Amino acid sequence: MTVIGITGGSGSGKSTLSALLSEELDALALDADKIYHELLETSADMRDALVSAFGPGILFEGKICRKALAAVVFADEGALAQLNAITHPRVTDEIVRRMKETDKAVCSIDAFGLIQSGMHRICDHTVGVLADRDVRIRRIMARDGLDEARAAARIDAQAPEEFYRTHCNTLLVNNGSAEQFREDCRRFCRKLLGKDTIDHE
C-alpha cells in the first residue's frame, strides 16, 4: 500500500486532494480529525485517559463533552500538549488498523497535524497544500461563517507556510479556482502513478 499524508492550514484545500485521490486512484480516504471525533464518542480507553488527565468535568452523560474539553485545553498550552499526547497515538493506531483491513493499493490520510503528531512516519509521501493568507481567510469566512478577524486569528495561530515547505515531500498551491486546483490534483495523481519519487512542485 502507498500511503499519502495530506496536510496544510485551514482553508488550504486538503479535502479536495483527498477526494481526488479517491476518485483517480480509488484510495482509502482517512480523515484524522473525523476519526478523533469518532474515538471521543466510542473509545472507552480514550475516555478514561482523558478523564484521568482532565477530570470528570469533561463528561456529559458518561461521554466526553467536546466543548468542555476544549474549554480546558485550548487556554493552556500544557494541557493541549497533554491532550495531543493522549489522542495522537490512539488516532494513529486506529488509522493503521483501518489500513490493515482494506485491500486498496493507496491510502490518503488528511491530517491538519500530520507532522506535529508524528503521523507522517507511517506515510510514503507527504503533501502540503498551501494557499495565500487572504485566500484562506475568505474560504474560512464562507465555510464556517466567521468574521474576518476570527478567520485571520485562526490562521495566525497555525503553522506558517514555511513549516510545510520544510517538512513535506510535495507542495500543491491552491490560490485559483476549484477546477484549477482539481486539475493540479489530477496531475499529482498521474505523477504518483508514474514515478516512485515525488519531487517538490
Q: What is the pLDDT of residues 1-10, one digit of tens each?
A: 999 999 999 9
Judging by beta carbons within 10 Å of its beta carbon (0-12, 13-18, 19+), is residue 167 exposed, middle or buried? middle
CA nearest to 106, candidates 21, 7, 8: 21
d(CA 80, CA 29) in angstroms, rounded, equals 27
Query: From its phi and psi, is residue 62 left (phi > 0), alpha (psi between -120 and 50) or beta?
Result: left
Which residues have CB under 8 Å from 14's CB, separation 6+?
6, 7, 8, 110, 112, 129
Question: Does pTM surpass 0.85?
Answer: yes
The CATH architecture one would assign to domain 32-103 is: 3-Layer(aba) Sandwich (3.40)
Quote the pLDDT of residue 179. 92
Q: What is the pLDDT of residues 40-81, one digit of tens each?
A: 999 999 999 999 999 999 999 889 998 899 888 877 889 989
- Angle among Cα 27, 171, 140 to the nearest 5 degrees reads 85
d(CA 140, CA 144) in angstroms, rounded, equals 6
d(CA 33, CA 117) in angstroms, rounded, equals 12
d(CA 81, CA 67) in angstroms, rounded, equals 17
Output the nine-digit C-alpha cell for 14: 486538503
Answer CATH for 1-27+105-201 from 3.40.50.620, 2.30.30.30, 3.40.50.300, 3.90.870.20 = 3.40.50.300
Quote the pLDDT of residue 200. 39
- Same CATH fold assignment for domains 1-27+105-201 and 32-103: yes
Quote the pLDDT of residue 196. 43
Domain boundaries along the sequence of the chain: 1-27+105-201, 32-103
